[in-house]
Structure 1
Amino acid sequence: MATEDLTTDEIGARLVGYAGQMAALTARFLELLAEFDRRGGWSGEGIISCAHWLSWRTGLAIRTAQDHLRIAHALPELPLLRKAFSEGRLSYSKVRALTRVATPEREEELLNVALSATASQVERLVRSIRNIDRHRDETERGTIDSSSSWSWNLDGSLSVTLRLSPLDGARFLAGVVRAEYERTRTAGDPDLPTEPAPDEEASGVAERPPGHPASADLWRNVPSDIAPAVVAMGDTMQTVITAPEFIPGAELVVHTHDDADPHLDDGPALEDADVDEAACGGAVRKVKHAKKRGGTRGVVLNYGRKRRMPTRKLMRVLFERDRCCQHPGCGRTRHLHAHHVTFWSQNGTTDPDNLILLCSAHHRALHRGEFAIKALGSQQFSFHRSDGSTIERAPAVHKPDGWKPDATIDDDAVLPINPGRHLDAGYATEVLYAAWAWKARQSDEVLAAA
């Protein structure tokens, strides 16, 4: 049947069905590619690699060809992933991500997650696993990758741990020395020359300007207590670096209450003097809390008719909840708009129960009447077509008439099983590593018993 003779629903069904067929065919393509490379079939005059041949003969970009080749050689060692791929249950995008971290010991658990997740969720999970593997690998290699952690203590102090490579450590200490010099300067201290004179550069010692105090020795000595200098470095960055309008963590957020001490965002309480000091900075936002019914305190998110645009705090709440455009199948993470489901002009409120993130394209389409959104309460929403029918996140697909695909591949094989709205990569990696550790212990016990 000609394409123009198909209904829109039939075209959509075939696209999903063909996606499964394409996945299966791609699996076969990669199987042939691996064997072709093993046989050296690509060798010839001017051909330097199998990826080069693939790019030349099939029109793929060289980087794409290299990715195909990597996956092709990884799949023979991963029979479970290869089987699901050949059955059209895993898309190429999922397989491409999984083969970066999968091993014969890991593939069963990874496959179970991938079958119930979207491609973007799988990629995010793989990034988390690669980070963990990298830290373990550097221990075995004897090299160091710079890393850090921080946490608020029970007494209200902040603990910061830095683990820096030798070169990064030297850069950090050099910055500390400069910050300490700037911090301890007095009114009579002139700026040091930007560039030393030739004779000074040769001797390795810059001549101290006339009348300059002994504090210039700080250029050659790191202070034993670097905390004041590090704070000075932070103050400098807040002053000289211009940040976007909404960038979580880049501003001081001070919460004030009618009946309690002010405190930092997700941090300890502050004295009134601390609040006044913070107010002198240029990157400080105060969030006013009021008493709610029952005596509890919280951020006033509903500003009634006084405020239409959501505050930065509320935008952070929406971003943590939605992460991307919420239109089914979109997933865009850039240029997101906070949309009032019940329009502001119709007395819609500015709170999480009435706000949802949409990309610019879907926000425009919504206002053009191409689809509608209903607020279901408790920050849940549903999407609807112009005829009122629900737009499902992962709709079931039925085989259309007149199409005879590979009978061994289900029409909706490529769709996720019970797709979730959000994948907690941290929790997922914790469970996966626990399962892999248990399997390793079981294997060791079997070997010990033998």
Structure 2
Amino acid sequence: MLFEELAELTGQRNAIDGRLVEIVAEIDRDQLGGATGARSVPALVAWKTGWSPANAQTITTVASRLDEFPRCVQGMREGRLSLDQVGVIAARGGTGSDEHYAQLARCATVTQLRTAVKLEPRPEPNPRPEPERSITTTTNEHGSCYRIALGHHDAAKFEAALASHRDALIAEWKHDHGNDAGTSAERPPLPSTAEAFVRLVEAGWDAEAARRPHGQHTTVVVHVDVEQRAAALHLGPLLTDAERRYLTCDATCEVWFERHGEVIGAGRATRLVNRRLRRALEHRDRTCAVPGCDATRGLHAHHIRHWEDGGPTELANLVLLCPYHHRLHHRGVITIKGTAGALVITDDQGRSLRPGSLARPPTQPPPAVAPCPGPTGERADWWWYEPFQPQPPPSNN
């Protein structure tokens, strides 16, 4: 009985996932996610369903290739194939392989499908391009591990800088401990490459702090014509109201008033979020304040009541926003009102954006689909598998 119930519930879940794929595909096709303020379709799915980002990415990947794999998605709607199985196929399956994988997935596990997709013939890759600069971080209770990807030229400069700082640390070590009368066991160890890396970061940090005392900000110089109510960047173009508010939101703003091209005075220049206030703001607001956005890097300090409208530079009037939602706000797409502890964020239709899942108790019976016994999962030896052979393009002759 338990196995029968497990198969029945699995079939119903697969069918529900199939319908969710079709809904997400329709949202993506009609670009309905922009009205919610979500940064992307996966972020919207994770927000509205309560799923993890990985599951949301899987269902979005399947939805984006719905037209290429209709048989596989139909297998989900019939309860025979799971979202994980079709997700593996949609992630890397070649064009035209829908029927092949729809049959294979009936008896193959997710692990076997991953192997099958890897064996699929693919065109020869282009010459390997220079890798993009990237840093990934893995954190546990013992500390953090950083993985840095650099091109050959950048890697050479990085290694030279590390070597230079390590040599400087070793010279300092020898100066302090080289003539020490104590035994070698009492001396501290030689500086490591990791210590040289920290010294390199500190040196760059100190240089940036010396160059710009408030490292989070830039200085924006704006010229305002008091008669025409027009503003322009210094030696730059005219600004719209939204651009003026955005550029002066988290920057040192220097305003010069002019009449007939002649300077008649300077406005306020103090609206900075200083380092101490910025740290308190980051400690309170770890992510972007817009519901459904989990951005944590490159956040802007935003005045809820705009500074140019008399809003104070205080914690109660400040929130952190990612650049994407910051621009949306100043373009009028989303509205942010209230105080930091009681924000009211609405879209351009006046609808409130709230976090959490939109799941509701079901009001309809579960879909009537056949129970899903699951893949048979026999051992797939290499010679048992016949890889999918894509059809050659039609000839123009």
TM-score tier, shorter chain, comes to 0.3 to 0.5
TM score, norm. by length of structure 2: 0.38
TM score, norm. by length of structure 1: 0.34
Higher RCO structure (Cα 8 Å, ≥6 apart) = 2
Which protein has the bigger helix share?
A: 1
